[in-house]
Structure 1
Amino acid sequence: MRRRTFTASVGAAAAAAAVTAGTLPAWAREEGGRGGDAYVWKNAAINGGGFVPGIVFNETEPGLIYARTDIGGCYRWQEDTRTWKPLLDWVGRDKWGWSGVVSMATDPVETDRVYAAVGTYTTDWDPNNGAVLYSDDKGETWGAAELPFKQGGNMPGRGMGERLVVNPADNAELYLGTPSGNGLWRSKDYGRTWAKVENFPNPGNFVVDPNNPYSADNQGVIWIDFDQIGGRIYVGVADPADPLYVSEDGGATWQAVPGAVEALGSADGNRTIPVQSAVDNTNGYLYIVTSHDPGPYNGAPASGAGGKIMRLATQTGEWTDITPTYNPRGGIPGFGGITVDRQNPGTLMAATRNNWHPDEILFRSTDSGATWSISWDYAEGQERHDRFVMDNSGSPWLSWNGEDQGHAYAVKHGWMIDALAIDPHDSDRIMWGTGATIWGTESLTQWDAQGELIGENEAGERVALPIEQFTVGVRAEGVEECAVLDLAAIGGTLVSAVGDVGGFVHTDLDRAEPMIDTDWSTGTSVDFAQADPDLVVGTGNVHGDEKGHVGVSTDRGKTWRNTARVEGVPGSGHGGTVAITADGSAIVWSPSDTEVTPVYSTDLGETWQPVEGLPAGAKIRSDRVKASVLYSFAAGRFYRSTDGGKTFADTGATGLPSGAVEDFRAVPGRKNHVWLAGRGDETEGIGGGMWRSKDGGATWKRIAAFETAESVGFGKAARHSGYPTVYTSAERDGKAGIYRSTDGGNRWTRINDDDHQWAWSGSAITGDPQVYGRVYLTTNGRGIIYGDIA
């Protein structure tokens, strides 16, 4: 596969055939003849970067695998390239919640059919109800059956399930377990229409925290599984006093399973629920993992007993507790994923959930849970011993810029391991999802030949036994699910501020990079000195009170150092925005969510001084030409500094929305030129859209093309244009899209299409200063997207 670097040719004629610009309205025809350009869209490679709560193998077609993410859509595995293909990029801003996938089902009979239960929040954060999406071509195209309730792809419990299943005995029939007391639902027409199963007796009642809006929802009906020997349908419910139901007549009637309350509803006095299941249709066992919490965050309760693994003999009704009892670090904190090997009945695996330190544990049994072996162990006073080597070369940032610390490795098995799946066609292949990536191997059965990791010597001491390790590697290539907050395109280098993983510096867009080596938990803002682009700055949320929020690089992002802390700004958040003057002589930082006013530094962050004239939380940008000039916006007022950020003064500009400005940026090569994007303010009678100033923010002209704009950025000018190309993520005539102007904002064209919308892409946008037409944009769960003219 050809790598697309910053300097690679972008005139790929073959790609143009796959993308069409459509018929453009008159207002969209840019001067210069480039209005009809078709675009090819790709991701800058990060590989992962978020929670993968579900991995689903098709049971009858080898190599057909799907993965779901909590906010970034779902993916299909491509066996020939060992990469994942995104399937929901068509989801638009009006239905952005459909990018949160709470469950997936792949049809074992007609394998082209696949389904996704979507909806991001059960709270009012998501204005829309959920849906079940259905596809007859493996996710290439989709239909939607909208539901009369919300679903929680990014809510507590999103790794439980699967909540959506196809009945293997009648593949036109699907079941859906729902949250919020909505019960069990069923479709009899391949997911096209849905109805509540009125005679299902229990909608669940388990609530994590009734005092927290995010975790106060009833977890509901969690999963459905099929006993293909006896034709039974089992349903797990979030109710410690009534957790498991069965139907023996195809769903006509339902009964509580005898013994389920004692087996699943309590663990050493803790209320527990059945979070996942796996069925062995050869030996007649249903395996169920219980937990005191739906996850994916919380570890063990104070008692140390987080859950169990229970085995139900489906033909006799006998329950057996098969919970592993050994953990090198102490008690069992609870379990996440569970899976069975369909090629080797009696072989199953389970993962701890949030065994945090030093690492998660994978348990493996080859005798239906009677005995277990573990993925790593250590003897007292000895080094840790592992069955496999973790190869993170596919995502070098998975070391988190750390080093091994004794038993705690920098590169871990992961955490939040709810997705755990052995390939039903290949006992050597397993994949598991974590809070950051997908791990996998094609050498799994070597585990069984290794024997025990730790044994006893003649003196009765626990000692390590020699084994031949196999390799586990990243299997997330193509899964791009970061929430990206800011971008800076320097020319040959792209710097990003990214949620949860800090940020990255890309010099090759097809290569995943280590994360920026700062103390950021989430990067929030990046900038560079226009006249000296080797000087790069960024800011982000940090943990603790030891390092400063702002990071500085003097070598174009190759190496970084944290600046000094600013007195009065606590740790744990507050990244805000940062700007550096055009010549790099001063940095101005505005912390967010504090009462501390912005500060400036003239020694690259060694010391900070308070800025005069700005309120706390004001957004900061620098003029891209004039070194002494910076700009700021807060509460409807626009400010300007002419002394390198030491003091700011209100420009007196009027007509700007007070609280809904999403972004403003200064124009490269044009001193005093500033553009501002906003949603408008109905209470003040100010419409949204785009504003442009040519006098440093003193006066503004509203660009009439847009009702709403969320970001604005600039790139290389078109051949016959004297003004940098302008890009925005905005809404025109009710249609949200990515728009471009080559004539200073007089005329615009939408450059994306309905197949490429990425749910929401409004935090930041920028063009490339060296490649005409190339645009980079942020998404909330689909990573860094960039487009080139085909």
Structure 2
Amino acid sequence: MRRRTFAASVGAAAAATAVAVGTLPAWARNNDRPKQADTYTWKNVAINGGGFVPGIVFNETEPGLIYARTDIGGCYRWQEDSRTWKPLLDWVGRDKWGYSGVVSMATDPVDTNRVYAAVGTYTIDWDPNNGAILYSDDKGDTWGIAELPFKQGGNMPGRGMGERLAVNPVHNYELYLGAPSGNGLWRSHDFGRTWAKVENFPNPGDFVVDPSNPTLADNQGVIWIDFDQIGGKIYVGVADPADPLYVSEDAGATWQAVPGAAAALGDADGNRTIPKQSAVDNTNGYLYVITSWDPGPYNGGPSSGTGGRIQRLSTQTGEWTDVTPPYNPGRPIPGFGGITVDQQNPGTLMASTCNNWGPDEILFRSTDSGATWSLSWDYAEGEDRHDRFDMDSSGSPWLSWNGENQGPQYAVKHGWMIEGLAIDPHNSDRIMWGTGATIWGTEELTRWDAQGDLIGENEAGQRVPLPIDKFTVGVRAEGVEETASLDLAALGGTLVSAVGDIAGFVHTDLGRAEPMIDTDWSTGTSVDFAQSDPDVVVGAGNVHGNEKGHVGVSTDRGKTWRNAARVEGVPGDGHGGTVAVTADGSRILWSPSDTEITPVYSTDLGATWNPVQGLPAGAKIRSDRVEPSVLYSFSGGTFYRSTDGGATFTSTGATGLPTAGVEDFRAVPGHKNHVWLAGRGDDTSGAAGGMWQSTDGGTRWTRIAAFDTAESVGFGKAASQSGYPAIFTSAVKDGKAAIYRSTDGGATWTRINDDVHQWAYSGSAITGDPLVYGRVYLTTNGRGIIYGDIAA
């Protein structure tokens, strides 16, 4: 596949429509206006992964048909020819942004064109909408929507359990859905178009992680549905330690608790455990169930004792057998995350730990229906770790987290939060598993069995490694872009980003995944560059621990970074805030978030810091893009300006700006004193949203009448050599959230995306490219960094 370069046009075409704006100054009104809207193509800046992949689903009858679901970034279909994933839910708009959280998927084994997704991001009021079942007759290229009368939790605790959604392989028009929050078991008899509660299903579940914590207080409910194709039974797992498993032997007409299930699936040390996942061996007649004390994906096990088991139920005799692996290197098994059965080799199955934090997750493999197990890695004497396979992270070089192996603690891990674990039902050599950061996979899996034992004993009784022929596991996340991106800086030929959970990146090729920025950030929150000296790049981010600095500095266009000095009194564990650098690169200003520390400035690239005078804590700061001595700030309805390089700020006396809900403001390249401000508004305070622009450094402002609300604003190359920079915004016009562009200083605006390309939420930051006319980069909350070009 030809690699996409930084200047390449990309994606599928999007129609555009024009909208007009209100009163603007003469310099804006008199500019030439475009005669025709441009068509745009859209693509991702390549990061490859970056978020949690809780489910991977293979179709049982069509080889190569694979789906992956994410917790906030939609779902994907595997493309075998290119070995990449195609996003399927980019059409989700801001009004239904919760549909980007996918709690379960099901692919039809009879009519393989049919696929279903259970969507809804939160069961609490963070998501204003109820959940839905999405149904597709063309493998996810287009979708219908069946709304549900309750919420679903694609980004809630328990999202790696399941699958909660299942197609009956005998009557494929029938689907089952396990609901959270005590809503029970639901069923459809018309290919997912309509749904009704199974009124005679006796148990809606009762397991709550922590009733005192709103995000952990939800009843986990009905967890999964599985089909015994030998006896025609339907099994349902329920989050109720006292009654965890039910069965129907009459096609769902009646339901009974499975005898012995509570005793078999309970924890040996008396902890309350739940049946997280199941897998059926329809050749030998076994149902395998894994348990954990917690629904995951964050936690491991209780402070003492083991937290998980693997139980095997004979679907013909009802006999339970404990097939839990007897050993986990260095500690008890904290709980299991995923389980999968090899359909080509009955009796072969694999399971994963969930959050076996130190030093790594374990994959277990059995070829005798769980009677014996082998491990993906193990200790020899002491902590001398030995592995069955090598990890090739070249597909996502940031997976090393800029670290190095420290004994058994590898920089590139097997993963954590492994709950999506699946052997290809058509190819015993292929496995994929999702982690909190990526998808790993191999097409050499059966070499595991030829390796024999990993560890043996010498004559002195010491554990020693045995010689084995390793295979390779590599990144299989190409095309999955699941980061929450927070800020962008386009230098021209270089794009710098601040990204949630994985710091940020410097891209000189938009189609190539890069190592992450080498700073102390856990999450990048803000980036900037010196307009007249773009070799100077700065960023800020959240950090862990109180010894680390929040600001990073590069003087070679982002190739290398160093950490600025820590600001005394700003704690770790967050507080990244916003950072700005003056137009000439001589001064850095940083405003930490969520602290009582007022902004600070540095005249020596972050070696030392001085308090800024005149600004409240948390005020956002931006630099004028022309005059090095001028900077701007906004907080609580007051706009501030500095004319001494950020040492002091004073209010401009501006009136009419919103007092809350301002998401972004930016200064215009090449135009001293030109500032644009975007506001979402705030329902609590009654502050209005919209967009405003100033040409005198923030003293007088003109409201842009076109927009109801706006969330970000940025600038790119002008349409003509003497024209005003192109303006881009993520905004709402007449109730419709979209991406808009103006090429005439704000006199007219054109929508440049369409309803097929909405990405749920794309409001944190937006910027044009200073060298490529029309190009726009925008952040999303779960679909990575999107960029668009005018179609050739």
TM superposition score normalised by structure 1: 0.98
Q: Give yes or no for the alignment of 1:43 onto 2:44.
A: yes
Cα distance change, pair 314–34 in 1 and its aligned pair in 2 (3 A): farther
Closer/same/farther in 2, CA of residues 703 and 272 from structure 1, 3 Å limit = same
Aligned to 1:733: 734
For 1:25 and 1:542, locate their aligned partners in 2 and report how far apart those are by CA, in whole Å: 42
**Residues 655, 686 of structure 1: 8 Å contact kept:** no
Q: Indicate conservation of the 8 Å contact 1:721/1:742, yes or no.
A: no
Q: Distance in 2 between matches of 1:387 and 1:375?
A: 6
Does structure 2 conserve the Cα–Cα contact (< 8 Å) formed by 1:132 and 1:144?
yes
Corresponding residue for 1:678?
Answer: 679
State the 1:34 CA deviation.
Answer: 5.7
Residue 206 (structure 2) pairs with residue 205 (structure 1): yes
Relative to structure 1, the CA distance from residue 196 to residue 84 in structure 2 (aligned partners, 3 Å threshold; closer, same or farther) is: same
CA distance in 1, matches of 2:162, 2:738: 35
Match of 1:19 in 2: 13
1:708-727 residue pairs with structure 2 within 5 A? 708-719=709-720, 722-727=723-728
Q: Does 1:747 align with 2:741?
A: no
Q: Which residue of 2 aligns with 1:66?
A: 67
Which amino acid letter does the alignment assign opposite residue 33 of structure 1?
A: P
Aligned runs of 1:613-624 on 2, under 5 Å?
A: 613-624=614-625
1:4 pairs with 2:4: yes
**Counterpart AA for 1:117:** A
CA deviation vs aligned residue, 1:271-294 (integer Å, no higher than 9, x gap): 000000000000000000000000
Counterpart Cα distance in 1 of 2:496 and 2:503: 11
Judging changes above 3 Å, is the alpha-carbon distance between structure 1 residues 22 and 546 closer, same or farther for their aligned structure 2 residues?
closer
**In the aligned structure 2, how far is the partner of 1:685 from the partner of 1:453?**
65
SS of aligned partner of 1:203: coil
Aligned to 2:431: 430
3-state DSSP class of the match of 2:773? coil
Whether the aligned pair in 1 keeps the contact of 2:16 and 2:753 (CA below 8 Å) is no
Letter matched to residue 569 of structure 1: V
Distance in 1 (alpha carbons) for counterparts of 2:133 and 2:685: 40
Q: Which residue in the other structure is 2:404 paired with? A: 403
Question: Is 1:487–1:526's contact at 8 Å kept on the other side of the alignment?
Answer: yes
Q: Using the TM superposition, give the Cα deviation of residue 26 of structure 1 relative to its aligned residue in structure 2, in angstroms.
A: 6.7
CA distance in 2, matches of 1:759, 1:511: 24
Q: 1:316-335 to 2 correspondence within 5 Å?
A: 316-335=317-336
Alpha-carbon distance in 1 for matches of 2:54, 2:118: 13
- Alignment CA distance shift 1:717-1:382 (3 Å): same
| Aligned equivalents of 2:19, 2:489: Cα separation in 1 | 31
Query: Helix, strand or coil for the counterpart of 1:242?
Result: coil
Q: Could you say which residue in structure 2 is the equivalent of 1:571?
A: 572
Structure 2 unmatched ranges of 5 or more: 23-28
Unmatched tracts of structure 1, length 5 or more: none
- Bigger Cα displacement from structure 2, 431-440 vs 456-465: 456-465
Q: Structure 2: how far apart are the matches of 1:613 and 1:755?
A: 46
Paired residue for 1:510? Answer: 511
1:486 maps to what in 2? 487
User: What is the number of residues matched between the two proteins?
Assistant: 784
Q: Which amino acid aligns with 1:4?
A: R
Q: For residues 514-553 of structure 1, what are the structure 2 equivalents within 5 Å?
A: 514-553=515-554
Is the Cα contact below 8 Å between 2:762 and 2:780 reproduced in 1?
A: yes
Task: Please give the TM-score of this superposition, normalised by the length of structure 2.
Answer: 0.98
CA RMSD in angstroms comes to 1.4
Q: Which amino acid aligns with 1:3?
A: R
Question: Is the CA contact 1:651–1:697 (under 8 Å) kept in the aligned structure 2?
Answer: yes
Three-state SS of the structure 2 residue aligned to 1:206 is coil
Q: What is the deviation of 1:460?
A: 2.5
User: 2:699 maps to which residue?
Assistant: 698
Q: Which residue of 2 aligns with 1:105?
A: 106
Q: Deviations over 1:621-652 (max 9, x none)?
A: 00000000110000000000001110000100
When residues 78 and 683 of structure 1 are mapped into structure 2, their CA distance, relative to the original with a 3 A threshold, is closer
Partners of 1:789 and 1:710 lie apart in 2 by: 23
Cα deviation, residue 461, structure 1 = 2.1
CA distance in 1, matches of 2:526, 2:561: 15
Corresponding position: 1:444 with 2:438: no
Counterpart of 1:179?
180
- Per-residue CA deviations over 1:288-314 (Å, capped at 9, x if unaligned) read 000000000001101231110000000
- TM-superposed CA distance for 1:6, in Å, is 2.5
SS at match of 1:42: strand
| Matched position secondary structure for 2:787 | strand
How far off its partner does 1:36 sit? 1.5
Contact 2:175 2:189 survives alignment (8 Å): yes
Q: Write the deviation string for residues 566-595 of structure 1: whole angstroms up to 9, x where unpaired.
A: 111011000000000000111110000000
Contact 2:6 2:511 in 1 (8 A): no
1:240 is aligned to: 241
The one-letter amino acid paired with 2:488 is: L
Partner letter of residue 211 of structure 1? S
**1:21 aligned partner, one-letter code:** A
Q: For 1:602 and 1:663, how far apart are their aligned partners in 2?
A: 25
Secondary structure (helix, strand or coil) at the match of 1:722 reads: coil
Question: What amino acid maps onto 1:591 in structure 2?
Answer: P
Q: Who is 1:301 aligned against?
A: 302
Distance 1:359 1:139, change over 3 A: same
CA shift for structure 1 position 459: 2.9
Given residue 397 of structure 1, which amino acid in structure 2 is its aligned partner?
Answer: W
Please report how far the alpha carbon of residue 682 of structure 1 lies from its aligned counterpart in structure 2 after TM superposition: 5.9
Instruction: Give how far 1:687 is off.
Output: 3.2
> What residue number does 2:496 align with?
495
CA apart distance, 1:24: 4.5
Whole-angstrom CA distance in 1 between matches of 2:685 and 2:431: 57
1:139 match: 140
Post-superposition CA distance 1:144-183 (Å, at most 9, x none): 0000000000000000000000000100000000000000
> Structure 1 residues 540 and 344 mapped into 2: Cα distance closer, same or farther (>3 Å)?
same
1: CA distance, partners of 2:454 / 2:436: 27
SS in 1 for 2:202: coil
1:26–1:608 CA distance, 2 compared to 1 (3 A): closer
Distance change (3 Å), C-alpha of 1:644 and 1:307: same
